[in-house]
Amino acid sequence: MTDELARTTVRTPPFGSVDEVTERLREQAYLPDRALATAVYLSTALEKPLLLEGEAGVGKTEVAKALATALGRDLIRLQCYEGIDASQALYEWNYSRQLLAVRAMHDDEAVRHVDDLFSEEFLVERPLLAALKAGDSAVLLVDELDRADDEFEAFLLEVLSEFAVTIPEVGRIAAVRPPAVVITSNRTRELHDALKRRCLYHWIDHPTLEREVEIISVRAPEVPAALARQVAQAVARLRDMDVAKRPGVAEAIDWANALAFLGVDRLNGEVGAATLGAVLKDHDDLELARSVISDVVGKAD
């Protein structure tokens, strides 16, 4: 069966409905809203990459982790960073092993078998190649794509367009069925329209107060309900302040966990000031919050 025919063969989507997506992600302690659950459902059913944008800490990466676990698939993560290139994302050759193989040969053998040194036996798979070979038994997470440069983004688009790559010494490697793909961006730079057109898009915002209370309760069940609400209210007020780095859901959970570990059952100004390092990670933000901590905590009830 050709790659193209295999990819167009009708198959049963991994989720039966949007409600099933919601239920199965909740089983992994991830609480999606209806819009996000719909985006995940369509992405997996239509075999299109899902591009998630939003501020740091709103749970974009956790979507891919929860999705992989819910589907019983391997999570393959490509962490993007400034300067990443195709070889670091796709493959490289195991030069030390090739050198050992050459040393084990006689000179005339080395000449005759030089092509064997560039076979899959000596290929080191990086995340993109591993995901193509794993196919629909994996979830590929391309994390923080906005940190990479334009050239790498163009390369990624080319790979995702066909879910295939050509390695000169080996040949064409294609996914029989594509992996589920989740791409995240903190929007430190604008991604190109060509990539966005290839994907389904969803913006994840900070949760509402009630949803954040529910998330804290699910992810940190040992935290008393009243304390979880106080933390969610205080974090919401911190986000409204002129801070450089608005705290995300992960920081809210960390703060609630820290307070519960200290045996705190009610948030007050003194304990709030002492534990702000769990929720704010910038010196100027800490100083600003400490100056108004009584007001921040006083409005949390």
pLDDT tens readout for residues 180-199: 999 999 999 999 999 999 99
CB contact at 8 A, 262 and 275: yes
Residues 208 and 142: their CA atoms lie apart, in Å, by: 27
Q: Which amino acid is at 156?
A: L
- Confidence (pLDDT) at 167: 78
What are the two backbone dihedrals, phi and then psi, of residue 161, each rounded to the nearest 5 degrees? -65, -35
Q: Which two tokens stand for residue 2?
A: 């050709």
**Cβ atoms of residues 189 and 158 within 8 Å:** no
Buried b / exposed e along 171-204 (16+ C-beta atoms within 10 A): eebbbbebbbbbbbbbeeeebeeebbebbbebeb
Q: Give the pTM.
A: 0.85
Quick one: pLDDT at residue 106?
59
- What's the pLDDT score for residue 34? 96
pLDDT, residue 148, reads 97
Q: What is the full per-residue pLDDT of the chain (301 aa) written as tens digits?
A: 445 544 555 578 999 999 999 999 999 999 999 999 999 999 999 999 999 999 988 999 999 999 999 999 999 999 999 999 988 999 776 566 656 666 666 555 544 455 565 556 667 789 999 999 999 999 999 999 999 999 999 999 999 999 998 877 777 889 999 999 999 999 999 999 999 999 999 999 999 999 999 999 999 999 999 999 999 999 999 999 999 999 999 999 999 999 999 999 999 989 999 999 999 999 999 999 998 888 888 655 5
